Amino acid sequence: MVARKPRIVIIGAGMAGLTAANKLHTAPGSADAFELCVVEGGNRIGGRIKTSEFGGDLIEMGATWIHGIGNSPIHKIAQETHSLESDQPWECMDGFLEDPVTISEGGYELNSSIVKSITSFFNKLMDFAQGKVGEEGLSKEEIECCNLAAKKASSVGSFLRQGLEAYWGCVKGQKELKGYENWTRKSLEEAVFAIHENTQRTYTSACDLLTLDYEAESEYRMFPGEEITIAKGYMSIIESIASVLPPGSIQLGRKVTRIQWQPNGPLDFENGHDFRPVKLHFSDGSVIFADHVIVTVSLGVLKAGTQQGSGMFDPPLPTFKTEAISRLGYGVVNKLFLELSPTHDLGGGNLNKFPFLQLAFHRPDSEFRHPKIPWWMRKTSSVCPIYGKSSILLSWFAGKEALELESLGDEEIISGVSTTISSFLSNSNSINGYGNSVEIPNGRQLKFHKVLKSRWGSDPLFLGSYSYVAVGSSGDDLDILAMPLPKNSTNNGYKNSSPQLQVLFADAHGHLINLIFSADGLLGGTHLS
């Protein structure tokens, strides 16, 4: 009699799911040890990695950067597959654009000294919060500001605002600025500070930085070295990871609707003579029986799936797991690409040099806000070409503004963005008679040919972009989220727990989390991370 092989089913063909499949399939002896398949609810692999083309350039609709190339497994794959070189232009091929042009609402280009001083101070606050710099790297005044801000900070948002207030307390007596109608020095400094706050929103996916936990900010670590984009696209990494898997092992269009598991012991589901403890139900009515299931869906899908009555897990996940899922933050970040019309003109025949434009908006309670700028544009920190001379512009959106973007038609988006940028680049309000360094002639609007946007919030397979440690949660909740089930503990809410791991969890929250397989389950002692 031939011994039955354990069956492992991985739910989700994104970075986490495919990396788990790759590690399992390439482990020594794996061919004879178990059956393996990946089920994906969508019609493509990659998850929140999606490389596309727009206006002849390669762009990323989701994950974009390798955040540090030192010892990065992603960078290693990119090198091995020659993905860091391409004849086709790609997004951010120049790296981070430098020397932004910062213009305030009303059309005034800001003095570089204001922008640089506030930008430098903001960066030092963030470095302090993230544990990247100690007191030895700060001036006496900066140390005082950071310490004052940290005393009462529960969130990154409160820390930053308290830091700004402390900054103003330390620099009293500065002269007012001339030539900026409807602006004071303080309001301009606050507007520049808000530019960087809004950039942080897109980094973290926190709709409001007041919900982003301060203590956890220092726990996050990136790989060392420069941050780069991938010339042949992030999908080249996904395709490389998936290429080792046997044909047919990835099943597309297979949306899981229910995961039945057995927390109370080894009373396996009966499937003829085949006994396996986990039963997966699919949207087409079919089922698969498995010994082990690795769940790699987004935190947003887990949040929806653990709501009362959702039925995603049967029986429901234990309380310790659902409470951790509930406490953790999960938000929406979207990217908007706009292609400039071939007939656009920035003045003086300057057709191919749109700047790295930072937008300094008036406060929400200001009477000087431009009435035609739509609300969903007002937390957009910048509009910039995806590389130096590209005619493709990019803006990032987070939170409710990102969700609103998803609901808008192309014409509404073009109108809103064009109105906003044109009002900022109009030369009708130049300072002391001198125009801005980049202008749109009076009475004209910037013209866009077409747009492309991501829709991560409304996509039922993701329901958002990425997770963060919210106020009230901690890094411990990420560990709890990663715990496999059944949990072999008398404190897990179930009695007589089976030692066999049935449901395991992984997520692409910067890395695969704690995929540990028991010796009598999958591969003895194999640790995927």
Q: Residue 520: phi, psi to the nearest 5?
A: -95, 10
On whether residue 337 sits in a domain, the answer given is no
pLDDT in tens, 249-291: 999 999 999 999 998 765 555 555 557 899 999 999 999 999 9
Per-residue pLDDT of the chain (529 residues; tens, 9 = 90+): 466 789 999 999 999 999 999 999 999 988 888 999 999 999 999 999 999 999 999 999 999 999 999 999 999 999 999 999 999 999 998 877 778 899 999 999 998 999 999 999 999 999 999 998 877 778 888 898 999 999 989 999 999 999 999 999 887 767 788 888 899 999 999 999 999 999 999 999 999 999 999 999 998 888 899 999 999 999 999 999 999 999 999 999 999 999 999 987 655 555 555 578 999 999 999 999 999 999 999 999 999 999 988 899 999 999 999 999 999 999 999 999 999 987 665 554 454 578 899 999 999 999 999 999 999 999 999 999 999 889 999 999 999 999 999 999 999 999 999 999 998 987 545 444 444 455 565 555 678 989 999 999 999 999 999 999 999 999 999 999 999 999 763 344 444 444 578 999 987 553 343 443 332 334 433 333 2
Q: Which helix (H) or strand (E) holds 127?
A: helix 112-129
**Cβ–Cβ under 8 Å, residues 103 and 358:** yes
Show the tokens assigned to 255.
């949306």
Beta bridge partners of 400: none
On whether residue 402 sits in a domain, the answer given is no
Q: CA-CA distance, 90 to 79, in Å (whole number)?
A: 17
For the chain, the domain total comes to 1
Q: Which residues contact 245 (CB under 8 A, 6 or more apart)?
A: 18, 21, 22, 25, 36, 38
**Cβ–Cβ under 8 Å, residues 7 and 291:** yes
Q: Residue 355: phi, psi to the nearest 5?
A: -80, 170
pTM of the model: 0.90
Helical H segments across 137-179, by residue range: 140-151, 156-170
Sign of CA dihedral 404, 410, 412, 417: positive
CA dihedral 207, 230, 413, 370 (to 10 degrees): 60
> How many CB atoms within 10 Å of residue 220?
14
> How many CB atoms within 10 Å of residue 269?
16
Give the HSE-up count for residue 285: Cα atoms under 13 Å, Cβ half-sphere.
0
On whether residue 120 sits in a domain, the answer given is no
**Cβ–Cβ under 8 Å, residues 224 and 71:** yes
On whether residue 288 sits in a domain, the answer given is yes
pLDDT in tens, 332-363: 999 999 999 876 655 544 545 788 999 999 99
Q: Is 528 helix (H, G, I), strand (E, B) or coil?
A: strand
Q: CA-CA distance, 200 to 382, in Å (whole number)?
A: 12
Range of the domain at 244: 7-49+234-326+471-521
Sign of CA dihedral 485, 486, 491, 493: positive
Instruction: Dump the DSSP string for 280-342.
Output: EEETTS-EEEESEEEE---HHHHHHHTSTT--SEESPPPHHHHHHHHHSEEE-EEEEEEEEPT
On whether residue 19 sits in a domain, the answer given is yes
Cα 163 to chain centroid distance, Å, stands at 25
**Cβ–Cβ under 8 Å, residues 230 and 81:** no
Beta bridge partners of 470: 212
**Cβ–Cβ under 8 Å, residues 454 and 62:** yes
Tell how strand 503-505 and strand 466-468 pair up: unpaired
Show the tokens assigned to 71.
């010892």
On whether residue 223 sits in a domain, the answer given is no
> Which CATH number covers residue 265?
3.50.50.60
Q: Position 156: which residue type?
A: V
On whether residue 368 sits in a domain, the answer given is no
Q: CA-CA distance, 311 to 308, in Å (whole number)?
A: 8
On whether residue 442 sits in a domain, the answer given is no
Q: CA-CA distance, 276 to 4, in Å (whole number)?
A: 10
